[in-house]
Amino acid sequence: MNVQIEIQLIAIVVALACSTLGVFLILRKMAMMADAIGHTILFGIVVAFFITHDLNSPLLVIGAALTGTLTVFLVESINKTKLVSEDSSIGLIFPLLFSIGVILISLYAGDVHLDTDSVLLGEIAFAPFNRFVVNGVDIGPSSLYVMGTILIINIIYVSLFYKELKISTFDPGLAMVLGISPGIMHYSLMTLVSLTAVGAFDAVGAILVVAFMVGPPTAAYLLTDDLKDMIFLSGIIGTISVILGYWTARIFDVAIAGMMAVMVGVVFLLIFFFAPDRGLLSIMRRKKRQKYDFAQISFLMHVINHEGAEDEREELGKNTIHEHLGWNKEFVKDIFNNLYSSNLVYIEDDIIKVTEKGRDLAISNAEEIVNGI
Amino acid sequence: MEYAVAVNDLTVAYHKKPVLWDIDLEIPSGVLMAIVGPNGAGKSTLIKTMLNMIKPVTGETRFWGEVYEKQRKNIGYVPQRGSVDWDFPTNVLDVVTMGTYGELGWFKRPGKKEKEIAIRALEKVDMLPFADRQISQLSGGQQQRVFLARALVQNADIYFMDEPFQGVDAKTERAIISLLRELRSIGKTVVVVHHDLQTVEEYFDWVTLLNKVIIASGPVEKVFNEENLMKAYKSKVDKLFS
């Protein structure tokens, strides 16, 4: 396997591991918590490093995973006092634990490969240098094995507890009554989020972990109404972002992890604008369409209201009607032409009249509006 | 008389502020009961505490003489419609199937049998044509019917419903009440947090008036009178005249 493929493979595995859990995070409105965990694990890593003096010790993972859970616990404890809102609680705990980690590093670990930069940004280009060697045989980069294991754990967790995750996310009250403890699901999910963030920090850095956990699921949410599809689509979107990011970084000779995070954003923006149903453009198109439809009905109702009245010539005159509707002349002309071509209105003696078909349409629409309320 | 629920000396407080004070309440089996009281009287808190979702400071709730955990499978719950995110990526049938999760227990996935139960429940609430509909596309009344279907699927002996009539259209309200009556007629007990005092006499046969303490509880024709209502809504009445 060459280095190029190895780098992309590691990043794809990270993206898949993150987005699998990320789907549930964003459905639980916990994107900011993912951000916080991604950073506070630094504190756990540093403390565990001081105990073991070994950057490859499994204790680092355990320490970091515990810090992630501690973060969630502290945020919730502060929030529970009802004195501080949830986002403020995150804003208090996240910098506190993270900065303690930063201070500890700058004080005691200046000469080891453990610095704030590498935790935040990672350096995926170096990831393949750290090999996994079994009996003297090099079987690939170790991050691939670490992240592969975490990915498998995440997949097993989500498929085993799919039903429990779904109900405790959608309706924690009912989950509780049915005997499916939302608390257990919550903390197990958060522990895995921490574990994933720890496993990935060395290779890709905390920023990319957060990007992969939040970006692809949020984009997938705009594309589907189905939870399973959302998980699969998140994986696909993450993978696309990785490949795009890698090759763009190569072309411009810039940081690979950084460019991958940028591509998560770019892919998200594309989906945000162009998603078939929930994209911004199709929402705007729909709104415009509705506005236009409503204007047509309003036009018809105006004609029906004033037909045969004394001021008919003034209210419905083909050159004066726009003043009464309060619309500009061009728009009125446009609406009239449309209605005319559908055979809903006609002009008689310079007065706009409505056909039977137009009358039926306007009345049935009005009824729909009244009944809809 | 056999009691489905017996609440003894239940007190619930948020910090120092008591929400419910020394509640003693007995609900006979087979009644259709409303819990009424002004805003902030603790109606939702009462049923959530009975269902073990909120820890009381003192007291306990027994279902047919047993603690909640022992009777869990016989207890159905319909939360307030607004308590969930209706933009969640799932469809109507799936939400109704969630009612079977308690019976299934951990790990097991709902299968064909559970789907069929859910479909039958949807039929009952006239929502079968919407089975595949994304839940965000439902009206308020339809959402409430979905919740009701999900409760039917739980096949419980007692149902707790938190404001099922909140913000539904007249047609849905009639459909819900006839369903609740049907449940009562087959021996189920139904407890409903209710807001609309005008319909209490028409809809329910048992009523509990609550305002942090139990004002009165019993058959509607006995306890649903002006005196008790004055007591329950006193603070409001006082304010009106002060």
SS3 content of chain A, % helix, strand, coil (to 5): 80, 5, 15
What pLDDT, on a 0 to 100 scale, did the predictor assign at position A116?
Answer: 65
Pair A124, A62 in one domain: yes
Pair A237, A319 in one domain: no
Q: Which residues on B lie below 8 Å from A167 (Cβ)?
A: 98, 101
Residue B211 lies in a domain: yes
Pair A269, A295 in one domain: no
Q: Say which of A169, A173, A225 has its CB closest to residue B83.
A: A173
CATH number for the domain that contains residue B219:
3.40.50.300
What pLDDT, on a 0 to 100 scale, did the predictor assign at position A46?
Answer: 83
Which among A249, A278, A307 is the end of a domain? A278
* Per-residue pLDDT at B240 exceeds 60: no
User: Residue holding tokens 């079994």?
Assistant: A134
Pair A21, A34 in one domain: yes
pTM: 0.83
Which domain covers residue A328, as residue numbers? 283-372
Of the CA atoms within 13 Å of residue B114, those in its CB half-sphere come to 19
CB A364 within 8 A of CB A350: no
Burial state string for A176-203 with b = 16 or more CB within 10 A and e = fewer than 16: bbbebbbeebbebbbbbbbbbbbbbbbb
Residue B48 lies in a domain: yes
Residue B130 lies in a domain: no
Greatest distance between any 2 Cα atoms in chain B: 62
Say yes or no for a CB contact (<8 Å) between B150 and A174: yes
CATH number for the domain that contains residue A364:
1.10.10.10
Pair A8, A113 in one domain: yes
User: Residue holding tokens 């998603």?
Assistant: A275
Say yes or no for a CB contact (<8 Å) between B79 and A176: no
CB B125 within 8 A of CB B179: yes
Domain count, chain A: 2
Pair A191, A217 in one domain: yes
Pick the closest to residue A197 from A188, A205, A186, A189 (CA basis): A205
Residue B135 lies in a domain: no
Among A26, A29, A163, which would you mutate to test the B interface (most chain B Cβ atoms within 10 Å of its Cβ)?
A163
Instruction: For B138-194, write each residue's pLDDT tens digit.
Output: 888 889 999 999 999 888 899 999 998 888 888 888 888 988 998 899 989 999 999
Pair A297, A263 in one domain: no
Residue B22 lies in a domain: yes
Say yes or no for a CB contact (<8 Å) between B72 and A173: no
Cα–Cα distance for residue pair B38/B25, rounded to 1 Å:
18
Angle between helices A162-170 and A182-221 (to 10 degrees): 80
Pick the closest to residue A123 from A24, A220, A203, A224 (CA basis): A203
Domain count, chain B: 1
Q: Say which of A161, A173, A221 has its CB closest to residue B79.
A: A173
Say yes or no for a CB contact (<8 Å) between A162 and B84: no
Which among A278, A308, A337 is the end of a domain? A278
Pair A241, A274 in one domain: yes
Instruction: For B221-238, write each residue's pLDDT tens digit.
Output: 888 888 888 888 875 555
Low-confidence ranges of chain A (pLDDT < 70): 1, 109-122, 368-373
Q: What DSSP string describes A280-312?
A: HHHHHHHHHHHHHHHHHHHHHHHHHHHTTSTTH
Residue B104 lies in a domain: no
Say yes or no for a CB contact (<8 Å) between B150 and A164: no
Pick the closest to residue B29 from B3, B7, B47, B6 (CA basis): B3
Pair A80, A145 in one domain: yes
Which domain covers residue B79, as residue numbers? 3-83+155-241
ipTM: 0.85
Which among A278, A300, A323 is the end of a domain? A278
CATH number for the domain that contains residue A172:
1.10.3470.10
Residue B144 lies in a domain: no
Distance from CA of B98 to the nearest CA of A (A): 7
Mean pLDDT score, B187-210: 89
Q: Say which of B90, B102, B136 has its CB closest to residue A170.
A: B90
CB A266 within 8 A of CB A249: no
Interface of B with A (CB under 8 A): 14, 48, 51-53, 72, 75-77, 79, 83-85, 88-91, 95, 98, 101-102, 104-110, 134, 136, 150, 154
Pair A264, A294 in one domain: no
Pair A347, A272 in one domain: no
Among A23, A24, A171, which would you mutate to test the B interface (most chain B Cβ atoms within 10 Å of its Cβ)?
A171
Pair A212, A232 in one domain: yes
Strand B75-78 to strand B158-162: parallel, antiparallel, or no bridges (unpaired)? Answer: parallel
Q: Which residues on B lie below 8 Å from A180 (Cβ)?
A: 101-102, 106
Instruction: For B104-120, write each residue's pLDDT tens digit.
Output: 888 888 888 889 999 99
Residue B117 lies in a domain: no
